[in-house]
Structure 1
């Protein structure tokens, strides 16, 4: 696994990374498969992609995690991504189901598109001040999940409590991952993940079997890094 660190120009770097990866994937495999988180990432992605003529008709867009709420709810990652980039063909969850059923149904959608051992071309991930990524939180039992591709969570420490999330077996099989991290509230956890090889924060546990992880920081998020 190769790790690259970039500080500044976050939307521009993000847009270029996604555009380049999509072009390569479509050229080599005929489609581009990407998983996207919520938070501030969709807004930054929309800003970054403005400069590019992107053919999203060949994209498979999955949610890296999602809150089990109606698709038009303020907490819905699907809603936020579609609001920021209306043309993006995001594959939604079915929020009418229980969390277990929702995770199972989304697993079926994932396998239909990407096969029994899904391999995303790119993950677009965020990082919380507590070190969580997707809906994988510090100390939670889901950090040890080895078999499920999409897992339910009903006790998220961050509301809303009921969610579904991709698990490490899927995340670490990806060809590339891009973490988008902004704001001074993330500086301490960024320092630990980047400079402590033994870091156990969930974001640090995204370790691709093969491929590249790019960390995109703004100046505030990177303010405590020593190098």
Structure 2
């Protein structure tokens, strides 16, 4: 049975540090149990802050990063190396310092690498399938990171867009994003929800509405984050500003702890 939890921290810095420490701990545990791990990364301010904190986290040097493959939940369809690409941010924050083999970094195609964005989506779906167990169309993701927009979007699945309702595809092109750039590539919600664990990192008062609607089980077509459910666990890591407007009964219902309490593993 999948569990959903909320953890609240005093500010963005403590939030990033805490998530990074938990990530390092979780990766060591996963790699003690399995020969390899698959992790899905996100971009944005907090996504980059968490990865930067991982680089300096206690025990990070004890993780066998050579056995970890990194994917992304979505990507801006921009040229390779563009500073707005999630891949670029992740490399700058952490990946370039880990001395990974090229095949460990599974970036979405960049603008110009394929004739069309539709072909780019097909290419990433094929790469996922190539790394999948027999009979599957994507790997088993051990942990997926997600950011959340003020409108409740996750990855590049936006409210009232067809992509958030899609149950047939693994990767989709988004050609009319409500936030720039308009062209993006994204995993679909069923693929995200196939992850063993999903960690959503949210900071700022502009995220309070999205958090409240997610915990109130809003319609995912209207609030995509409300449809996120990891197979084992879904954890909302938030700062006090993001949690400030959420009714206490919703936080309690979701098994809420503050960072000051002893908390079971995420």
**Range class of TM-score, shorter chain:** over 0.9
Counting only pairs closer than 5 Å after superposition, residues 111-190 of structure 1 correspond to structure 2 as: 111-115=129-133, 116-118=136-138, 119-190=140-211
Residue number in structure 1 paired with 2:232: 211
Residue number in structure 2 paired with 1:101: 119
Task: Give the conservation status (yes or no) of the 8 Å contact 1:33–1:120.
Answer: yes
Residue number in structure 2 paired with 1:35: 40
The one of 51, 55, 58 aligned to 2:64: 55
Which of 35-44 and 11-20 deviates more? Answer: 11-20
Structure 2: gaps of 5 or more residues? 249-266
TM-superposed deviation, 1:64? 0.7
Task: Give the conservation status (yes or no) of the 8 Å contact 1:21–1:121.
Answer: no
The one of 194, 197, 208 aligned to 2:217: 197
Which of 38-47 and 125-134 deviates more? Answer: 38-47
| Number of aligned residue pairs | 225
Q: Does 1:92 align with 2:113?
A: no
TM-score by length of 1: 0.93
Q: Does 1:110 align with 2:132?
A: no
Give, in whole Å, the separation in 2 of the partners of 1:180 and 1:46.
14
Residue number in structure 1 paired with 2:22: 17
Give, in whole Å, the separation in 2 of the partners of 1:73 and 1:198.
35
Q: Output one character per residue of 1:139-159: Cα deviation in whole Å (capped at 9) or x when no partner.
A: 000111112111111111111
Query: Secondary structure, in 3 states, of the residue corresponding to 2:145?
Result: strand
Task: Give the conservation status (yes or no) of the 8 Å contact 1:149–1:167.
Answer: yes
TM-superposed deviation, 1:188? 1.5
Give, in whole Å, the separation in 2 of the partners of 1:189 and 1:207.
15
Task: Give the conservation status (yes or no) of the 8 Å contact 1:13–1:216.
Answer: no
Residue number in structure 1 paired with 2:264: none
TM-superposed deviation, 1:173? 0.9
Query: Secondary structure, in 3 states, of the residue corresponding to 1:220?
Result: helix
TM-score by length of 2: 0.80
- Moved runs in structure 1, 4+ residues, more than 4 A? none
Query: Secondary structure, in 3 states, of the residue corresponding to 2:107?
Result: coil
Give, in whole Å, the separation in 2 of the partners of 1:94 and 1:126.
20
Give, in whole Å, the separation in 2 of the partners of 1:143 and 1:12.
31
Residue number in structure 1 paired with 2:255: none
Query: Secondary structure, in 3 states, of the residue corresponding to 2:75?
Result: strand
